[in-house]
Copies of this chain bind each other. A is one copy, B any other.
């Protein structure tokens, strides 16, 4: 018999919560549903999380954390800054598309983040902006990019990629006229003064 420690229980609650949010949606899932799946009392779940909202935030942090880890790994990898910036932006687009688009329940998760949990989004955008800034700083140092203010450049790059990063915009623009992501990345690299 394994000893169940507290961090394990937190993780188990988040795993079950994420599964229920995906299956029946955030709004319809109750803490009692989670407790039942976990064979716990709701009171025990509340020992670990103050509220359903706190559980939501834990699940959301996990989802965006995976994208952040992927971006950070590319920031620290080898290769030219332009190549890694392209790879990072393509990866963010792919992961956000896979996670949030074409699934009504995950749409609901994003809407709740946008409407009620902006600090989760803000923290996530900050981490992504920092990874982009990291690669821009490397390119500025090597002379590959011509940038004076790295943070402003990173904010401009993120903004220019909104159609491909923001889950609501990915969904809304999916079947609309627009540049391919590769064209947009070419344009962004030109904005950074990258030599082709």
Query: Interface on A for B, CB 8 Å cutoff?
Result: 114, 118, 122, 125-126, 129, 152-153, 155-160, 162-163, 166, 168-169, 172, 176-179, 183-184, 186-188, 190-193
Sampled A-B contacts (22; CB under 8 Å) = A114-B172, A122-B176, A125-B177, A152-B183, A155-B177, A155-B178, A156-B184, A156-B186, A156-B187, A159-B162, A159-B163, A159-B179, A160-B160, A160-B184, A162-B162, A162-B163, A166-B169, A168-B168, A188-B191, A190-B190, A190-B192, A190-B193
CB distance from A110 to the nearest CB of B (A): 12
Oligomer: number of copies: 2
| Chain B nearest CB, measured from A9 CB (Å) | 35
A125 to B176, CA, bound (A): 10
Interface of A, helix, strand, loop or mixed by DSSP: helix
With a cutoff of 8 Å between Cβ atoms, the chain B residues found around residue A191 in the complex are: 160, 187-188, 190-191
Distance of A193 Cα from B189 Cα, bound (Å): 11
Q: Which residue of A129, A153, A162, A187 has the most chain B CB atoms within 10 A of its CB atom?
A: A187
Determine whether the beta carbon of B156 is less than 8 Å from that of A179: yes
Closest CB in chain B relative to A193 CB, distance in Å: 6
Complex partner residue of A187 from B160, B162, B177, CB under 8 angstroms: B160
Tell me the bound Cα distance from A160 to B157 in angstroms: 8
Q: Which residues of B contact A193 (CB under 8 A)?
A: 190
Query: Once bound together, how far apart are the Cα atoms of A72 and B155, in whole Å?
Result: 29
